[in-house]
Structure 1
Amino acid sequence: MTHPTHPTRPSRDPLEVGGSVWLQSGTQTLGGAARIALLAAIRETGSITGAAKAVGMSYKAAWDAIDTMNNLAGEPLVVRASGGKGGGGTTLTAPALRLIETFRTIEREHRRFLERAGAAIEGFAADWQLIGRIGMRTSARNQLAGKVTRVTRGAVNDEVELALAGGQAIVAVLTHESTEALGLTPGSDAFALIKASWVLLMADEPARLSARNQLRGTVSRVTRGAVNAEVSLALDESTTVTAVITNQSLDMLALSEGERAVAVFKASSVILGVND
């Protein structure tokens, strides 16, 4: 019997700076690399059909692009000659030729800029990974970065432990497939997502609970609403966990800024992710 193989996570390539150039007229795009390439191909082939084929574009898409550029430019860029003794053809006007040369000049300068920027970021991979994390947008209120310290394989699911910056740890339960797809192994970086509504708060007193995650900290902020309150718990100088609880629970626990408390949530409530 053969066992199915699972895809392994590819090794990360070196960081590079990338970008593209396009020209605009107001809020409308006049030409980017694809449209400029189309104009250049028309110049070389003298034919819409030949140019479209050269840039991998359909005949209709090529004419749509030409119409758009002509309209936005406010003057003809492409002129199609009617058939005659020498047959018809397509030519570029002087403004179109200048547009190609202008774009090529900007493109060369842009390439030089990318080369300089690429050289400047050498050795700053960790900073760019951090930029990627802080730029992430998700509905989960709590986004905590850490390092995988342990992966325990079970009969159905895996248990992954993630060490946070301040020394406390989060445990997540996920499928074998998810563990392998994310490339989660001891020493790898990952982040945990936990919705604020999944976090329970309790006074900082010893208790026996079935929930695996119990993070201790100090209340740093309390925002009371009409029905619920948002309570932020500082685990250390850089890590905060936020919970949404009812005002009644807030009053019962007597939670206020500076009080010690424990954030409690199930391992199944933790979503793990990695930066590609």
Structure 2
Amino acid sequence: MLELQGAIWFRSGSQDWGGKDRIALLAAIGEHGSITAAARAVGISYKAAWDAIDAMNNSAGEPLVVRAAGGKGGGGTRLTERAEQLIRTYRALEEEHRRFVAHLGRLGDAAAEDLNVMRRFMIRTSARNKLFGKVESVRGGAVNDEVVLALPGGQTIVSTITHESVETLELKPGVEAFALIKASSVLIGLPDPGLRLSARNQLPGVVSRVVPGAVNAEVVLDLDGGGSVAAIVTNESVQTLGLAEGVRALAIFKASAVILGVVG
């Protein structure tokens, strides 16, 4: 069953204005006319409230909250017209966002899968290879555990990571995870019935692209069943192995070279 939640967050260039919590603080200031009372109402400290106000004032480029002049009842704080407009705009957007999320929820499981794919697009790492799958098995060891990740196309990747990491990431059969492998950690070999290697991961596929450089070349292998793996090998190795588009080959890498991660 698809269950969606969301929130609106304002940004100005590279700066964050804030979201629901800061709008709630502004609204509380407008209601109570006091930073102390507003902070208490939203459950933060007086200092945290002023820090948030300073950040919002700076991000907006103009005051959103100002001190009111003292009088018989003492001074206080008030919202500027800009702040009041910001609250109105946020509440209007929040209502539209609520309707959007409700509509998306009615689209069902297909939308859930699409959203999951989009979420994966947002993961950015320096590792050239990023493969998604589900944990097939976890075998515990004295220090390191062996985790087998099943890829959508039927192939598997083996990773050895610490038992602490397995617990932190809450890895167990059925959990969605992804594998990161640097291109420099991947070797390319040719299929050979007599080939025996100590590397746990030997994924078959077809060379889809060879990008030569001054010394090294990037070789991209389209894996059987889907997905691809890139490797950095010497130009000499490309020639020796006869690597070219359409050639069948193996992507070879150690289990210790595989970093595992989870989304969210």
TM-score, normalised on structure 1?
Answer: 0.76
Residue 268 of structure 1 and its aligned partner are, at CA, apart by 1.2
Q: Which residue number in structure 2 is paired with residue 242 of structure 1?
A: 230
Native 8 Å contact 1:36 1:100 kept in 2? yes
Native 8 Å contact 1:161 1:169 kept in 2? yes
Distance (whole Å) between structure 2 residues aligned to residue 108 and residue 228 of structure 1: 55
> Unpaired segments of 5 or more residues in structure 1?
1-12
Distance (whole Å) between structure 2 residues aligned to residue 37 and residue 95 of structure 1: 15
Calculate percent identity across the aligned residue pairs: 54
Match runs of 1:224-239 below 5 Å: 224-236=212-224, 238-239=226-227
1:146 aligns with 2:133: yes
- Please identify the structure whose Cα radius of gyration is greater: 1
Moved more, 198-207 or 106-115: 106-115
Residue 94 of structure 1 and its aligned partner are, at CA, apart by 6.0
Question: Pairwise CA RMSD of aligned residues?
Answer: 3.4
Distance (whole Å) between structure 2 residues aligned to residue 162 and residue 70 of structure 1: 47
Distance (whole Å) between structure 2 residues aligned to residue 225 and residue 16 of structure 1: 46
Native 8 Å contact 2:155 2:225 kept in 1? no
Deviation per CA, 1:47-67, whole angstroms, max 9, x where unpaired? 344334434343743763686
Equivalent position amino acid for 2:51 in 1 = A
Native 8 Å contact 1:83 1:89 kept in 2? no
Distance (whole Å) between structure 2 residues aligned to residue 164 and residue 93 of structure 1: 55
Query: In the superposition, relative to structure 1, how do residues 35 and 68 fare at CA in structure 2: closer, same or farther (>3 Å)?
Result: farther
Residue 224 of structure 1 and its aligned partner are, at CA, apart by 0.1
Q: Which residue number in structure 2 is paired with residue 194 of structure 1?
A: 181
Distance (whole Å) between structure 1 residues aligned to residue 41 and residue 101 of structure 2: 27
Distance (whole Å) between structure 1 residues aligned to residue 227 and residue 56 of structure 2: 54
Q: Which residue number in structure 1 is paired with residue 51 of structure 2?
A: 61
Residue 93 of structure 1 and its aligned partner are, at CA, apart by 6.0
Native 8 Å contact 1:69 1:77 kept in 2? no
Moved more, 202-211 or 245-254: 202-211
Distance (whole Å) between structure 2 residues aligned to residue 66 and residue 160 of structure 1: 45
1:72 aligns with 2:62: yes
Native 8 Å contact 1:21 1:110 kept in 2? no
TM-score, normalised on structure 2?
Answer: 0.79
Runs of 4+ residues over 6 Å off in structure 1:
26-31
Equivalent position amino acid for 2:62 in 1 = L
Q: Which residue number in structure 1 is paired with residue 149 of structure 2?
A: 162
